[in-house]
Structure 1
Amino acid sequence: MAFLDQNPALGYPLAAGMGLLVGSFLNVVILRLPRRLEWEWKRDSREILGEPDLYDPPPPGIVVERSHCPHCGHQLSWYENIPVFSWLALRGKCRSCRAPISPQYPLVELLTMLLVVACVWQWGFGWQGFGAIVLTCFLIALAGIDLRTQLLPDQLTLPLMWLGLIGAVDNLYMPAKPALVGAVIGYLSLWTVWWLFKQLTGKEGMGHGDFKLLAALGAWIGLQGILPTILLSSLVGAIVGSIWLGMKGRDRATPIPFGPYLAIAGWIVFMWGEQIIGAYRQYAGI
């Protein structure tokens, strides 16, 4: 790791290449994990209710099954599965049936590459850089799933929280106490907003996954990062959400996933929270 820190001309291209490969895997997680979870929920519900088993083959797994075209089932060869480059070479279409391939694939791969490089630029190639990459990948997957399905699976939010707390045991980014308090306050802050909104309106203003995501972020950014994350995510969500509703012609009752805004704000605070808070205190004269 010290060698890569001392030779950034080698380290950054390696980080970029790894980011592209990991981004390709994150696409698989974003697309397949919700389908696997839905299949498991239906199977478990039938078992609990005592209903007869149905022939319901499981959807493709996340690791074992090869990538394939969702339209014709054509299994991709290795040269059709090169991040970004294959999509460009195929001009965004399946080689077998010529159906369009979603631009989500290269966009997620490029986004992951850029954020991975940003992580090693900010934290270096040691354990802090590795932890930042892990957090980034979890947040990309969670944001992508929430955008598509309005779900924030426990299978991702809870491990992310525990990883943050485990890292704090060794003081990776902060001591254990601020990380633990950050996780608790992160959960309770949004839970309180949800509970008050439900008491006043009789409706649920957000999903429980949002509480768990902010708790997970709290384990990585600590207590002092919770308020900036909430404020920044609310601001971005209000602006982007209003623009999206206007473009789609939807009313304000239309549910909008909040997870992506939490992920964006939490990542920014994780990367540059101290600088942001310091600049604010200097500006406010605190």
Structure 2
Amino acid sequence: MPDAGVLDAALLGVLGLLVGSFLNVVIHRLPKMMELRWAAECAELHPPVDPGQQAQSAEPAPFNLVVPRSRCPHCGHSIRWFENIPVLSYLVLRGKCRSCAAPISLRYPLVELVGAALFAWCGWNWGLTAEALAWCGFSAAVLALACIDWDTTLLPDDITLPLLWAGLCAAGLRLTDTALPDALWGTVAGYLSLWLVYWAFKLVTGKEGMGYGDFKLFAAFGAWFGWQALIPVILMASVVGAIVGIAIKLLGQLREGGYVPFGPFLAVAGLTSMIFGPTAIVSIIGL
């Protein structure tokens, strides 16, 4: 008979594959949904001068996480269910569209595999428990945020704020090792610390060094791990960010404006805290 821990890890690993497949949809579509929402709000604030033009404007087609069906961005081929099996379909199709043979980004199966690995670790560490499911949700949210921020430099409130409140609720329900007062003050300290850094940097340089989404993500980590974890998390995120930023600059791959998003490095530090514990971060980065 297989060990219970192995079975729990396997079951949650399969769930992680499926969730990872859905996260690919979230990573691709949520920023576009935000842009459509902003465009609609701008249109409401600045309607067309000609009333006839406003009446003739076509109702936009629905676009959300469910519709329309996923399609190849190159040829418009509608992706069938058997072409969307996590990892397996990518291998069978050899990383190419079944219709036009255009390459499919390797990141799709990588997100699915990372999701599976994180969920499997939660199953191995906590078993099939409410604690494991809570940390699976944490892992999924942080993974999606890391990819979205890397692509767009956005950390959507649609994910950061539920993640923050989920951390406080998890602490209140004792689904984490963080006491509720520590989670509460971790949330406050996480937000205010980066908020102060942001304004100090802006007053000195006249530039914005980070976005408000970083404040909210760091506050969410304070809710999940407590205020005691904030310094190790920010230290690891800063060290990893500096190393990657220098490497990107040396390779000449910096984006326009020389901006490197900070959210993905916060995400790496947050996931490291989940797996090894916040105190282990200090040893990992050699301090």
TM-score normalised over the length of structure 2: 0.90
Q: Which residue of 2 aligns with 1:202?
A: 206
* Contact 1:30/1:145, CA 8 A, preserved across alignment: yes
Match of 1:186 in 2: 190
Q: What does residue 236 of structure 2 align with?
A: 232
What is the distance in 2 between the residues matched to 1:259 and 1:210? 6
Alignment of 1:276 onto 2:280 = yes
Q: Once the two structures are superposed, what CA deviation does each residue of 1:185-239 show, in whole Å capped at 9, x if it has no partner?
A: 0001111111100110111111111001101111101101111000000000000
Gapped runs of 5+ residues in structure 1?
Answer: none
Picking from 262, 265, 270, the partner of 1:261 is: 265
Of 107, 112, 130, which aligns to 2:110?
107
User: 1:167 and 1:102, CA in 2 relative to 1: closer, same or farther beyond 3 A?
Assistant: same
Name the structure 1 match of 2:215.
Answer: 211
SS at match of 1:66: coil
1:148 counterpart residue number: 151
Q: Give the alignment partner of residue 16 of structure 2, picking from 4, 16, 19.
A: 19
Preserved CA contact (<8 Å) 1:180 1:222: yes
The 8 Å contact of residues 245 and 252 in structure 1, kept in 2 or not, is answered as no
Q: 2:174 aligns to what SS in structure 1?
A: coil
- Counterparts of 2:258 and 2:220, CA distance in 1: 26
2:41 is matched with 44
Q: CA RMSD in A?
A: 2.2
Separation (CA, whole Å) in 2 of partners of 1:125 and 1:21: 17
Question: Offset of 1:245 from its aligned partner?
Answer: 1.8
Q: CA–CA distance in 2 between the matches of 1:210 and 1:278?
A: 21
Aligned mates of 1:244, 1:48 — CA distance in 2? 40
Asked whether the equivalents of residues 84 and 106 of structure 1 are also in contact (C-alpha less than 8 Å), the reply is yes
- Corresponding position: 1:135 with 2:135: no
CA distance, structure 2, for counterparts of residue 252 and residue 49 of structure 1: 30
Deviations 1:160-203 (A, max 9, x none): 10111111112221221110100110001111111100110111
Separation in 1, partners of 2:201, 2:193 = 13
Distance 1:64 1:58, change over 3 A: closer
Match of 1:10 in 2: 7
For the Cα contact (< 8 Å) 2:164–2:219, is it kept in 1? yes
- Cα deviation, residue 67, structure 1: 2.0
Please, which moves more after superposition, 50-59 or 172-181? 50-59
How many percent identity over aligned positions?
A: 49
1:102 partner SS:
coil
In structure 1, what is the equivalent of residue 72 of structure 2? 69
Instruction: Classify 1:80/1:279 alpha carbon distance in 2 versus 1 (closer, same or farther; 3 Å).
Output: closer
1:182–1:218 Cα contact (<8 Å) kept: yes
1:119 deviates by 1.7
8 Å Cα contact 2:168-2:183 kept in structure 1: yes
Instruction: Evaluate the alpha carbon distance shift between residue 41 and residue 276 of structure 1 in structure 2; reply closer, same or farther with a 3 A threshold.
Output: same
Query: Among 108, 123, 128, which residue is 1:125 paired with?
Result: 128
Amino acid at match of 1:139: V
CA deviations 1:239-277 (Å, max 9, x no partner) are 011101221254995011110000110121233225527
1:81 to 81, 84, 87: 84
Alignment partners' CA distance in 2, 1:155 and 1:250: 28
Shift of 1:123: 2.6
TM-score (norm 1): 0.90
Q: Aligned with 1:179: secondary structure?
A: helix
Q: CA deviation at 1:120?
A: 1.9
Change (3 A) 1:38 1:277: closer
C-alpha distance 119-198 of structure 1, shift in aligned 2 (>3 A): same
